Structure 1
Amino acid sequence: MSSSPTPGSADSLFQHRAYIAFWCARTASSFGFQMLSVAVGWQIYAMTGRAFDLGLIGLVQFFPSVLLALLAGHLADQFDRRRIVLIGQIVEWIAIVLLATLTLLHAINEVGILLLIFTISTAKAFESPSMQSMVPALVPPSLLPRAMAVNGSAMQAAMIMGPALGGFLYVAGPGVVYSVSAVLYLIAATMVAQLHYEQAPPKREPATLKTLFAGVHFIRERKDVLGVISLDLFAVLLGGATALLPIFAKDVLHTGPWGLGLLRAAPAVGALLMSFWLARHSMERRVGMTMFACVAGFGVATLVFALSKVIWLSLVALFALGAFDMVSMVIRGSLVQLDTPDAMRGRVSAVNAIFINTSNQLGEFESGMLAAWLGAVGSAVVGGIGTLVVVGLWMMMFPTLRRRQRLHVEPVPDEASSQTI
């Protein structure tokens, strides 16, 4: 990775007005969603007092994101992506407005909240592959890694500040949080509606099992793409120590809620600061080894966190964990987008989203199960060592990925995609 910025690199990215509009829309909707998530959890728990109901919130979000992903990817490659994103955000905005109105009128119950969250999650499931596939058309290939890093900074900022802002506004009631969230979604939809986005006329094909699973076939045939996606899957599955933070805070580090808050924030802060650095520095060489080194760093940071007995070292480890993950995430995301022809980006993004969503959920489950058998420290140690083992195996299994020098190589011809459909 180059240690010096390219002259004018920061300005050149934001000279693309379409990208600025896209970034503003995504930032606004991300903040709105983070605020919404906090308010929904508080409101349902205040209504029922049952922890089980908090799990239902995750369930109604998880099923649409996985079950509809392949269909959403197919639609992203068949129709105008900007229009799909716009329709999705309008549906989400309507659901949030209903949530705000019914809450302010005291006419909402748990079932109504869950149904509206399910509606929002369904719209997001269709929106996500299209939104991810739009970025390569908004900036030149050489600027895509920086665009991914800037996107990452917005997401991390939303994850850090969104819940805090939502919690602050919740003092005035959940209806106020939903109202502000609705305003943010309206801003996002307005920006998308005005976005100038050019997409090659898609080749319309009916949705069949062959076209729906074309993304899976494409990934299997492209070794570098398969390598980065599967590496992310297994690294997240094994490195889910953050799911055990309440146990570490209470039983290992002997701190209170304030300490837990710091522990939760540390990875996001590390990722946010690293995304700022990546937005100004180019990755010019040895990107394959850089990615493997950062995933290995993620595993080492997990081990340090697992064995730490003092909160300052745990915070440093989690900070490093977030920073390493951001570098590998930018490389992985850029490589997948650049190695995929535009006609296939929706379906490949959908498959990638399934892997990410599944690995996040299963990673937390795996960490919890191991913690029940080995204790929290043992579970995190196994996860850190497992991540390092996976890195070693993947370096042997995907030698072209290990030797890869640059993110941007000769583009894959669109004809290649037709051979996989």
Structure 2
Amino acid sequence: MWDFETDPAYQEQLAWVDEFVRTEVEPLDLVLGDPYDKSDERARRLVRPLQQQVRDRGLWAAHLEPELGGQGYGQVRLALLNELLGRSRWAPSVFGCQAPDSGNAEILARFGTPEQRSRFLQPLLDGEISSCYSMTEPLAGADPTLFTTRAVRDGDDWVIDGEKWFSSNARHAAFMIVMVVTNPEVDPHHGMSMFIVPAATPGLEIVRDAGVGTESPEHSSHAYLRYDGVRVPADHLLGDEGAAFAIAQTRLGGGRIHHGMRTIAQMRRAFDLMLERAVSRTTRSGRLADMQSTQDKIAESWIDIEQFRLLLLRTAWLIDRHQDYRAVRKDIAAVKVAMPRVYRDVVQRSMQLHGALGISNEMPFAAMMVDAQVMAIADGPTEVHRQTLARQLLRDVAPGEPRFGSGHLPTRTEAARAHIAARLERDIAAFQ
């Protein structure tokens, strides 16, 4: 049965979140710094009471299972929640579901030992520390089959050497989860492993922090990391040796859909500003809202957002139904492909309608445009997901007749006539 309604109890929670984020959390974006900087005591004093309110409502770390302090919400409920949280850069931290910590928490919960969960996961869930996911490399990008960072067993330790690129949040992280080659003799899908590396480990160096777009150096937080003889105990191996690829796919499948959820909030923000500008601004010819070009922008934007939202919610529903990201691989890829395009188009239309104000740093559109491009790169570039989607769609298609194919009208007409003639013969025989 199809149902496009949210159950009343959860809808009441969403209504509370909507008001809470709007009145208590969004103002933090304008007066506080980096949500991942746990050394900022002023920010922590302001945020802790808000986090307690979220806990009191039973919404803290809602993506995790109840035994870890979450609600075990499925992807549909998380989608509805995150399209509200996505309005604010502080909201995910207030609700205990900020990336990359949320994905790192998920794999620690699934694959970590009791000792690893106690030392690294619990402080992360409590909001006391931040973490980093250290995967991509300078020459390999996001393709794990080209990774060269190695870990070699040395007695009771593993020694890691190599470089990682765009390791988000490393400057504030208490630990990194790093993906490295441990057995180059087998195929990459079985020769890579994941390790937990505490930030203070000797040999771990932040070469520099890269910024996104026009971010200033003090706000740049995507690290170029060097692992130079970084030695970690054997018990810092996360999951089984050689299992990193499967662990990464588990993490990234959820991460890709969560990016889409939060991006919807930014699309709606740009769209709402477009509507406001249209009815507020007047030219010699009348209101912007009365011009056909403006109406085109508004109509196309609404359609784009609603189409993307339905695709995303359907994908979330399929994940909940199958409980297997691999079974929904093409749908997740489609979300990943559509997301940056819709985001960019809606923001560009709103920016254009705002004129010079729109391209200034007094409005959010320039940052949104950069963020849209980030969404085209993060968790795998759009081109890779297009290939994934196409291959999945082609995989089970049976070849047709090579000359004219199954849509050839003369061939179909001949077959239809033969089919109808056979039916007539059967009907005649039945009455004789």
Greater Rg, structure 1 or structure 2?
2
TM-score, structure 2 as length reference: 0.31
TM-score, structure 1 as length reference: 0.32
Report which of the two has the higher share of strand.
2
Choose between structure 1 and 2 for higher RCO, CA contacts under 8 A separated by at least 6 residues: 1
